[in-house]
Chains A and B, each alone.
Chain A
Amino acid sequence: MVENRPFAQFMAYLTLVIGVLVVAFPVYLAIMASTFDAATIINGNMPLVPGDQAGVNYPRALFYGGVHAREPVGGMMLNSMIMAMGIAIGKILISILSAYAVVYFKFPFRKTAFWIIFITLMLPVEVRIYPTYKIVADLGLLDTYTGLIMPLIASATGTLLFRQFFMTIPDELLEASKIDGAGAFRFFKDTLLPLSITTIAALFVIQFIYGWNQYLWPLLITTKSSMQTIVIGIKKMITTTDALTEWQIAMTTAVLAMVPPVLVVIFMQRLFVKGLVETEK
């Protein structure tokens, strides 16, 4: 819109503000709830201004856990962190290498290989969960980090993203490095990898959050409470059968669970956006 129409502008801002409020209010509520004691939350009249229990709730959640599921959130966060990092880094490694092979090497059935990778987009974890569970169980990987990470690493999205990016790199660059005496590995390390930094960052953000938010898979294959991830931890805290839910601890845990993804997004935001929109090379 070029012309300056105050009313239209006001409406636009109003819509935006309402949208932001709708999204942000539950988050705000969770943060507030993490600063009160259980009684204040339960009686139904929780104030919307911060209480004074934050200093009690956070250390207790981090190092002790709930009354029933007595598992410190610190440990769960570590598990989640290892899993999310493993998935993000593993996915990037696998997909950048497979995209490199598919784009730059001419081998028989190259197109077929690409299409097979592409087709796995139709088979997310939820669809192939039983066979995957069976394999992981047979390999004795239940309750291990490997079992948590490995089945989630294979990624068509990542391969696709890198492939599209590699296709925009002019062939002359490859030819110039051939003449400069760089072999396949050198070209990858010296030219392709530095040029892919923004794409890698974008993928890292997406996959870290994807890994961090995993629920179904960890729920299936972890039984030991020491292997629990934070997402499952929250769930366990609010399903108690014979006692009051400790809402203040659950909310504290939820707030803590939000922190790492938010930090990742904040610190990688600029690279992330660049990686998704950059076309000029």
Chain B
Amino acid sequence: MAKESAFNIHPMDQFIIEPILMGENLEWYSFTNQALWMLISLASISFVFIYGSRKHQLVPGRLQSVAELMYFFIRDMIIDIAGQEGLRYFPYIFTLFILILFGNVLGLLPYSFTYTSHIAVTGFLALSVFISVTLIGFLRNGFGFLSLFWISSAPLALRPILLIIEVISYFVRPVSHSIRLAGNMMAGHAVIKVFAGFAGALGLGAIAPIFAITAVYGLEMLVVVIQAYVFTILTCVYLNDALHPGH
């Protein structure tokens, strides 16, 4: 349908994965634009966290204070939500956070590729969170983990109904977890692209679409950070459920 559109707007083109460097065909190993942006994100992370704090300054400079801010923000968040035992899983959650944050923020650059807008990526991350949280829950609490679904504070007659609801909501978790991130990223970028298409169609008189792009871009800056935060905080909440199921 999109190719028949009168304005010639292709908001979804920016999400196409195409191989670069190695040949024309997409194999499972070929180096794509997505892999390139993952590499760029890796370089940015190294720049901020390793180059930025190379001097181990006591009073941090600009880059080092950014790095420290993120580090201790996630650390305090885990302690707040999942308690002191949650700190054991800090490296995993921190990796997840900076992976998503840098992917989202770099995706806002013009001509860039947002790897977090792909359902395969976020689905993989959400599924790995889901599986590892479930495993942690069973390994730490044994079958006591199932008390998460049997809410002992509710009246007895309601408990079977609540059991069904809880089980469904437990298994919906990875779906909502992944689609929330991918959907937000995709929607924001598509909206910007659509307005950009309007601006292109209107030519020089395109003040309103350009203003709209600016506004949406400002909103996206906010959304991008909040979505990374939300993904991480939900991971912490799920981890807390696994660590202390009988709440």
The answer to whether A binds B is: no
Binding site for B on A (CB under 8 A): none
Binding site for A on B (CB under 8 A): none
